[in-house]
Amino acid sequence: MEQVVTTNRSWARVRRLMEKRRLVFVGGAIILVILLMAVFAGVLTDIDPNKLAVAKRLRPPSAEHIMGTDEFGRDVFSRLLYGARLSMTIGLSVVAISTVFGTLLGLVAGYYRAADNVIMRIMDGMMAFPDILLAIAMMASLGPSVANVVISLGTVCTPRVARVVRSAALTIRETEYVEAARAVGVRPGAILLKHVLPNAVSPIIVQATFTFANSVLAEASLSFLGVGVPPYVPSWGMMLSSARSYMVQASWMMIWPGLAIVVTVLGLNLLGDGLRDMLDPRLRNL
């Protein structure tokens, strides 16, 4: 009996928490589903995303192909699942690269006044380019490949992370416990890692979520323009680019990849907003 009461009570607590953190839960659930789709793409469908069947081209949705087929007779559902794998891989890799380099640059700039000017002027210069334009220009030189998309987008996203981390580091540098650490002779490297970094984690996480959302959108744009991943890689942006020519005969080719992008980016934006409310209450009105 007592057991039941406590369970009820803890369920009530979970429910209250979920109501308060609705954005985080909804956004997190969406992203979890997309991640599962990406990981288990091979389990959810046994159709090869690149299997050509010209005889079955532009077929509307049916029991065999639940989202129809494209202009080469490839299964749209299967390509959608493998497209999720690509989006998630690129998104997570870009987040990893930009977070590592952005954090490093931001910490150094925020802590050492001498380095601040140099690093931040360079970051300002890089932020003068519209994201997608700089990514296109880099792709033009690097050539189409998944790794190169990650490199370009990682480079484009780093300055914003650096700026966020720097402004956190600037505030933390002036706190008394950092001053105390300095006074007792803790080395700067240790101060940065043990005191400044842990206190800058919240803005870093929030920024990482938005970077994830932006890189999913940016990868789709690059591939839509034909300057992203190579043609044989299933990508949502590339699917939309071919859907454009068959808009009238095969509208399903246009609907599903677009919805997939919207749902993924919306999930990440919700998660980012929720995390910001949770971790940084001062920004709640933004």
Exposed, middle or buried: residue 34 (CB in 10 Å: 0-12, 13-18, 19+)?
buried
Contacts of 265 (CB under 8 A, 6+ apart): 213, 216, 217
Q: Measure CA 159 to chain center.
A: 16
Q: Is 121 in the site for other proteins (CB under 8 A)?
A: yes
CB 253 within 8 A of CB 76: yes
Q: Which residues pair with 75 in a beta bridge?
A: 69
Instruction: Kindly tell me which residue out of 124, 179, 201, 249 binds other proteins, with binding defined by CB under 8 A.
Output: 124
Complex with other proteins: residue 183 or 286, whichever CB lies closer: 286
Contacts of 236 (CB under 8 A, 6+ apart): 80, 83, 84, 86, 87, 220, 223, 257, 258, 260, 261
Q: Which stretch binds other proteins (CB under 8 A): 59-67, 73-81, 99-107, 257-265?
A: 257-265
Instruction: Kindly tell me which residue out of 35, 39, 44, 142 binds other proteins, with binding defined by CB under 8 A.
Output: 142
Instruction: Kindly tell me which residue out of 129, 182, 202, 246 binds other proteins, with binding defined by CB under 8 A.
Output: 129
Min dist. Cβ of residue 134 to other proteins (A):
7
CB 199 within 8 A of CB 172: yes
Q: Is 247 in the site for other proteins (CB under 8 A)?
A: yes
Q: Which stretch binds other proteins (CB under 8 A): 1-9, 51-59, 220-228, 274-282?
A: 220-228
Q: How many residues bind other proteins (CB under 8 A)?
A: 46
Q: Is 196 in the site for other proteins (CB under 8 A)?
A: no
Q: Which stretch binds other proteins (CB under 8 A): 31-39, 43-51, 95-103, 123-131?
A: 123-131
- x-or-dash pattern for other proteins, window 5-34, by CB under 8 A? ------------------------------
CA dihedral 132→136→138→143, nearest 10 degrees, is 140
Q: Is 132 in the site for other proteins (CB under 8 A)?
A: yes
Q: Would the CA dihedral through 224, 230, 234, 235 be positive or negative?
A: negative
Q: Which stretch binds other proteins (CB under 8 A): 45-53, 61-69, 163-171, 223-231?
A: 223-231
For residue 73, give the DSSP letter: S
Q: Is 217 in the site for other proteins (CB under 8 A)?
A: yes
Residue 174: strand, helix, or coil: coil
Instruction: Kindly tell me which residue out of 81, 261, 271, 275 binds other proteins, with binding defined by CB under 8 A.
Output: 261
Any idea what the Cα angle at residue 79 is, between residues 267 and 212, rounded to 5°? 30
Sites of contact with other proteins (CB under 8 A):
121-122, 124-126, 128-134, 136-143, 213, 217, 220-221, 224-227, 237, 240, 243-244, 247-248, 251, 254, 258, 261-262, 265-266, 269-270, 273, 285-286
